[in-house]
Structure formats: structure tokens, C-alpha cells
Amino acid sequence: MPKPAVVVEGVSKKFGLSLKSALKYGLIDSGRRLLGKEKDSTLRPGEFWALNDVSFALDPGDALGIMGVNGSGKTTLLRILNGTYSPDKGKVTLRGRIGALIAAGAGFSPMLTGRENIYISGALLGMTPSEIRNKFDEIVAFADLDAFIDMPVRNYSSGMSVRLGFAIAVISAPEILLVDEVLAVGDMSFQKKCFERIQTLKREGTTILLVSHTPGAIWAVCNRGLFMNGGRVVVTGAVENVIRAYDDQNSRNSVKADPQHRQGEPSNSKSLMDDGATTLLASDYGNPICGTGDVICRNFRVTSPDLGNTISEVEFLEPFALEFDMEVINQVEDMVVRVVGDSVHYRNILTLDSYEQGGRVERMVPGRYTIRAVVDNQKLRPGAYTFHIGVIRKQVGIHLFLWLKCGQLVVLNPKDRFLYSDPYALIHMDAQFTFSSVGLAESCHE
């Protein structure tokens, strides 16, 4: 049985939070090395773990897709595998020639020509001068740089640099290939050529580690996946599970990055109490909370329809309910309550209107009420969604109350199906596909 091509055992890497702490600890660590001492493997003040106890092993021909939000440690891991960084803890074992494309144009000398950089980069990858000469024309043709190969690399565009770097990395016949989010550069024809070459290397036994934010790229190339968050491995195994975890984490981060607007500071405002905190009700538009003052809404929440407990996430196709408390200050005729939803990429992607749903309210007398709308048959695709409340009168086209971004909800990826086709799609609809032959195409003969 062949030995694993890549073995990562408990690898950790730390960095300073500031330039001052990085320089300070760098000098200390250099002094320890000069004295023959081991690295300080503890986390010191002003440092953080970019990688924390990462372990996995890959056999020849395995393709590992590494996903994670920005800052999760993906590039740091590849740079340790490439030898750019050394781990502070743990051990890395690599068996075979390494080809790496971690950044556009990384390792190129900008003053030298493309031709000269091919020879230098090839030598750094372990190729002999005769191997480079034999593969030179293939590298130039793959990168499509025939007319520019004797131009200084400093004059290359980012796409040209990526094409040349990728061509050198894959045509050098590596036994281990490291690729970090660079395949998105270039036109569709070049991207197609890149994927075809990677698949060829995979079939020939090359071990591939691909870092990408594109689920389609990971799913197309890789047979294994790794999802990282905060420097740690959170999910490993099937590619579909890793993509689901990555999408769900992005949705949660979207909610955290856009907190609910529970307080406003508009002019011409009235003070109202909301869970013990003072919230300002504006009398003009352009504020997160505004209205005429005839109606005040508080305590918006998303709940489970059966138990009534407040939730922040629901499973795919799982019912949910939207609730909030309403205080009617002045009697309202023909009241309409509306909840509008936004997604991360689009506004007003759904509306729940009490009048449209057949819930006509002819008169609301002063008092306190709880408004509840149950969504039994929700078809939202996985992602993050934001809600807004509006209360109007049928005969008057202004808001008695308007509350923007009053609540949020994350719809999680399902475990029993893989929804990968389009991250911008919002609504799921079931459909039955059929493929019927209507005859094979015949060759045209004169």
C-alpha cells in the first residue's frame, strides 16, 4: 500500500496582532534558534492562532478542497505546506515534487522576462535545465503568451501572471499541487483549460489541495473537503458536507455583520419603551423606526410555529412564524400589517401582507395586541434574510409605523440534498426532469 503523499499532524501557527508584537517576538524566536532552543509553542500576549491543531492525510491522487471565510487559515496552511512558513507546533510530511500557485505572480522577478522567469521558477520546482527546455513551448502555449514571453513580467496583467504561473506549476509534472483561489482569474476558455489539466493530473496520481470560495470549483475537482473556521478544522470528509458548512457560516456571518436596528436617532421623534430601552420614533422617513405615532410595534421575533420559542435559524423548508407586539394608541380603520423580507443580495424578495392573505381588519381600537403570521410552506433557499415591519391604513398611503431591519433569519442547508447551483437564487421550486431522445444527429453527406 503506498504511503500518504501529504500528512499534516497537529499543525499550529501563530502571528502577532500588531507589527510591534510581531517584531518583538520575531527577535526573541531568532535568539532562541541561535541558542539551539525550540520554538516557544505557547500563545504570548499580542498573538493569535492563525492555525490551531490542524491534522489530515492525503493519498496519491486525492484532491482536497479547502473552504472557509476570510481569515480562517486556509492560505496560511498552504504556505506551511509550500515551505514559506514553518509551523510553531506539529509536523508536515510531503512525499513528492511540489507545484504551488498561491498568489498571482508570486515568486516571479518583475524585472526579468517571462522566458527568464520560466527557467528560474522551473528550477525552483526541481526541474532540470533539459526538462525546462523540453517543456518550454508547452508552458508558453498553455499560458497563451507567445507574443509576450520576452516582455518583462512587471508589464504583465494579473491574468497574464496567473496564466504563466499556473502553466509552470502544472506542466512541471508535480506530485503535489497547491492552488489558492487563482482559477477565478482569466476568461472562460482558460478556466476550462485549467480544470481539464487539473483533472488530468488527478487521474495521473497527483495529490491536489485546492483553496477556493467557489463551491462549484471545489465540487468539480475534489473528492474530499475541509472546512476551516478560526484556524481550526470544523468539518472534514464529503465535499458536499463541507460546502454546506461553508454556506451556513457565510449566512451566520451576514447576520452578525448587519445587526438589527433597534434604536434610531431621528429628529422630531417621540420616545417609546422597548424591553426597558428607549427607542426613538421619527415622524419622517429616512430613519430605521418611524411613523405617525398612532401605532407602535415592539419585540419582533421569529419563532417555531408549534412551540412558540424564539429561533434564529430554521432548516430548509421548515415552517416558521413571525411575531411582534403592537400597541394601538389611536383607533385605526382598515389596518394593514405587512412584513417584507430582504436577502443578502436583493431587496423586497418576499412580502406577507395581512390584506392579501385575507386577514382584513376593519377597526383596531386602542390596546395591546400580539401579531402572528405563520409561514407553513416556506420555499426559501439557504441563506440569510432580513425582515421589516410596516403598518398602514388602506385609505392612507403613509406608514403609521415602519421598522426597518427588525429581525433576521438564517435558512440552513439541507442534509438530504445538495443545493449548489447558484448562490444568488432565493426560491426553491420542485421540478421533475425528463430526458427523451428524439433521434441521434446524422452526418451530412453530399
DSSP 126-139: T--HHHHHHHHHHH
Residues 230 and 311 in one domain: no
Q: In this structure, are 138 and 182 located in the same domain?
A: yes
Same domain, 382 and 397: yes
pLDDT at 266: 37
Do residues 202 and 284 share a domain? no
> Per residue in 183-229, pLDDT tens?
665 677 888 888 888 899 999 999 999 998 888 889 989 999 999 99
> Which residues of the chain are under the pLDDT cut of 50?
261-271, 273-278
pLDDT tens column, 45-80: 888 899 999 999 999 999 999 999 988 999 899 999
Residues 299, 314: Cα–Cα separation, whole Å = 19
Domain boundary among 206, 233, 256: 256
- Which segments of 188-231 are extended strands (E)? 207-211, 224-229
Q: Is residue 234 part of a domain?
A: yes
Q: Would residue 432 count as lying in a domain? A: no
If asked whether residues 320 and 354 sit together in one domain, one would say: yes
User: Measured at the alpha carbon of residue 254, what is the angle toward residues 180 and 262, in degrees to the nearest 5?
Assistant: 160
Expressed as residue numbers, the domain containing 225 is 6-256
Provide the pLDDT for residue 265. Answer: 36
Tens-place pLDDT, residues 290-306 = 999 999 999 999 999 98
User: Per the domain annotation, does 425 fall within a domain?
Assistant: no
How far apart, in whole angstroms, are the C-alpha atoms of residue 135 and residue 386? 54
In a domain, 192, yes or no: yes
pTM for the model: 0.82
Same domain, 154 and 225: yes
Cα dihedral across residues 212, 213, 217, 218: positive or negative: positive
Residues 287 and 180 in one domain: no
Cα separation, 157 vs 342, in Å, equals 38
Nearest partner of 264 among 245, 240, 285, judged by Cα: 285
Q: Report yes or no on 435 lying in a domain.
A: no
CB-hemisphere CA count at 13 Å for 280? 13
- Give the position of cell 487563482: 182
Same-domain check for residues 187 and 251 = yes
Helices (H), 145-297: 158-171, 188-203, 215-221, 239-257
**What's the rounded Cα separation, in Å, for the pair 173 and 217?**
21
Dihedral of CA 29/32/36/38: which sign?
negative
Evaluate whether 81 touches 13 at the Cβ level (below 8 Å).
Answer: no
Cα separation, 316 vs 413, in Å, equals: 6
Picking from 235, 256, 277, the residue at the C-terminal end of a domain is 256
Cα(1)–Cα(56) distance, integer angstroms: 18
Residues 278 and 238 reside in one and the same domain: no
pLDDT score recorded for residue 356: 92
Together in a domain, 287 and 264:
yes
9 closest CA partner among 64, 54, 74, 40: 54
407 and 387 Cβ atoms separated by less than 8 Å: yes
Residue 343 sits in a domain whose CATH number is 2.70.50.60
- Let me know if 107 is exposed, middle or buried by CB neighbors in 10 A (0-12, 13-18, 19+): middle
Query: What is the structure's pLDDT at 263?
Result: 41
Looking up residue 199, the CATH number of its domain turns out to be 3.40.50.300
Domain boundary among 211, 231, 256: 256
Q: Residue 268 has what pLDDT?
A: 38
Instruction: Specify if 12 maps to a domain.
Output: yes
Amino acid 91 reads K
Do 208 and 305 sit in the same domain of this protein? no
Residue 420 lies in a domain: no
Q: Are residues 289 and 240 in the same domain?
A: no
Q: What share of the chain is helix, strand, coil (3-state, %, to 5)?
A: 25, 35, 40
Residue 64: name the closest of 175, 233, 218 by CA: 218
Tell me if 433 is assigned to some domain: no
Domains in the chain: how many in total?
2
